[in-house]
Every structure is written in structure tokens, then in C-alpha cells.
Amino acid sequence: LAKNKRSGFMTTFDQLQKGIRKNARSNDINSYLRSLTRDAISYLANNASIVDLTSKVTGKEYFSYSIDGTKSRAVNKLLYRDMEMAEIFLELLQSDEIRGNISSDDITSACYTITMSLACYIDITNKGDRQTPGTFFEYLITYMLTKHFKSDPSTRVRVDIGDDKVSLTMDLILSVDDDKTKYHIAVKNSTRERASEIWAHQRILDKAFGDNTYTGLFIGLCETKLDHKINEVTEICVPDQWRAYQQFLSALHTIYYVDVPRAYKNLNQKPPYIVVKQIGDFYYDVPQE
């Protein structure tokens, strides 16, 4: 039975994957997200036990789901909610009525719950699979952004190098309002040693197409690390490196996290002023198309 359930779950995931490629902002995507979240939450509630973790992050508490000694990643207790919150958000997302009807905090919690329930489900049922949770987060964000901007996603730009037209791959490129506004949006579960790439790509766009042609955003899930041996959670942050990137490489407009790392929160208070906010703020910052 458990095996059948998992196979049904992965079939829905495959449908989501194909759906995103076909039409990232169709209502089908919404029902796949809803179905996967519901199944993951109910599987975890019925089968997993809760393991309390030691938090090394001031102001944050974490737990982990566990089955037969296999532990999921660390889950932030304050952010993680239930299916009801996820449903409310997905409902409003489908009808393009987010702004004004749900608070920034609740949007953030809903995104966290949707992403982390699936991630924990995969952590436990397919140990070592980092790719499925990673792409799932990208799909959720792609759906949210393409809905918001009423624009189809692209991952490619063509730039001139010498006599060649060279095609480069970015995480997400959105062209809005008849090409009047363009966004370069990096989407990553966590940055680790890959943060420089975000500012590097933004600089390529600034130089190839002119400053301010592409507005640069980065959307991340979290920067937590769980030491499985001692059940201890830390946040891996490199604020000085980030400040150097913003100063010497390019200027990202805003960085949105679902679980905002403490060490990045106040980077807007001194030069070069990196603005880091929770994902829910996006809907109150950026006017809808």
C-alpha cells in the first residue's frame, strides 16, 4: 500500500513537471501543488514521529520528521503550518487575489508549508534525493511568478560575444508588459557556494543589455543545515561575501527568502544596501500585471 501511495505521488509530481513546461500558469499546476501538499502532509502526520532538534539560530526552533531512524531536513516550527493555510493561499493564487486578502506572514507560511512538506516526504521516502525537493520549489515559485506577471517563463538569453550570438542559461527570465519590464530571477533552495553565480549572471545582463534593463531578484528557501549526528541546526551565511558581490559585481534589486536567514536580515542598513525580505512581501512590493 505504502509503495502504491508513493507511486501515485510521483505520478502527480511528473504531471507537475510536464505541466510547468507546457503552461506554467494553468489551473492544473494549482491542483497538482494542492494534491502533492495534501498527500505529503497526511503521510507525515500518519506515519512519522517528531524529533526535536537543538537550534543554534537565535529566535528559531526546529523539528525533524522521522520514520525508522530516517530523519527529514530541519523544519522551522514557527513557519510550518497546516493544509488549511496552504489551501487558502493556493485558492487565492488561482484567482489572482493574493494582495489584500492574506497577510505577508501567512503567504510566507503557506509557501514554507507547501515546500517543506514535500521536501520532508522525499527526504524520508527516497533518502538522498536532493533534486526532487529542489525542482519542486522552483516549480512553486515559477507558478507564483508567472501568474503574478502574466508572463511565460524563459531560461535563456542571447548575448553578443565577439562575432557570435551565444545562448546563456539563467534560472528564470520574465518579460512583462510587452517587454517594457524584464526580470532576471534566480531561484534556489539554498545558495551554499553558488551565491556568486546570481550576481555574476546579473552583471552579464547589465553589461550585455545595459544597466537597469533586467531587474534582478533572488528567491531562496532557507540556509539551514542539520547535523544528523548531533541533531543540531545552524544557518550557513556569508554576509561579507554577499556585500562584496553587491558592491563589486552587480546590484540585485531584492532578495526574498521563505525562511529569512538571520545574518542576511539587516544587510539593508549599511552600504551596499542589500534588501532581504520574506517571500510574502513580494506581493505587497511588486504591482500585479
Residues that bind its own copies (CB under 8 A): 159, 161-164, 166-169, 193-194, 196-197, 199-201, 203-204, 207-208, 240-241, 243-245, 247-249, 270-272
Q: What share of the chain is helix, strand, coil (3-state, %, to 5)?
A: 45, 25, 30
Picking from 220, 236, 235, the residue whose alpha carbon sits closest to that of residue 278 is 220
Given the complex with its own copies, which of 102 and 204 has the nearer CB atom? 204
Given the complex with its own copies, which of 143 and 242 has the nearer CB atom? 242
* Residue 163 CB, nearest approach to its own copies (Å): 8
* Residue 197 CB, nearest approach to its own copies (Å): 4
- Give residue for cell 518579460: 175
What is the three-class DSSP state of 65?
Answer: strand
Diameter over CA atoms, the chain: 61
Q: What are phi and psi of 276, to 5 degrees?
A: -120, 120
For the beta carbon of residue 120, count every other beta carbon within 10 angstroms.
26
Sign of CA dihedral 270, 275, 278, 283: positive
**Side chain identity, residue 286:** V
Given the complex with its own copies, which of 86 and 198 has the nearer CB atom? 198
Given the complex with its own copies, which of 4 and 167 has the nearer CB atom? 167
CA distances from 41 to 17, 34, 141, 220 (A): 20, 11, 20, 22
* Residue 31 CB, nearest approach to its own copies (Å): 33
Interior angle at CA 134, CA 153 and CA 65, nearest 5: 140
Copy the grid coordinates of residue 83. Answer: 493544509
* Cβ–Cβ under 8 Å, residues 157 and 76: no
* Residue 123 CB, nearest approach to its own copies (Å): 18
Given the complex with its own copies, which of 242 and 256 has the nearer CB atom? 242
Given the complex with its own copies, which of 71 and 201 has the nearer CB atom? 201
Separation of alpha carbons 105 and 188, rounded Å: 21
* Residue 33 CB, nearest approach to its own copies (Å): 27
What is the three-class DSSP state of 181?
Answer: strand
* Residue 204 CB, nearest approach to its own copies (Å): 4
What stretch of H or E contains 101?
Answer: none
* Residue 249 CB, nearest approach to its own copies (Å): 6
* Residue 157 CB, nearest approach to its own copies (Å): 10
Given the complex with its own copies, which of 51 and 168 has the nearer CB atom? 168
Separation of alpha carbons 134 and 51, rounded Å: 23
Given the complex with its own copies, which of 119 and 170 has the nearer CB atom? 170
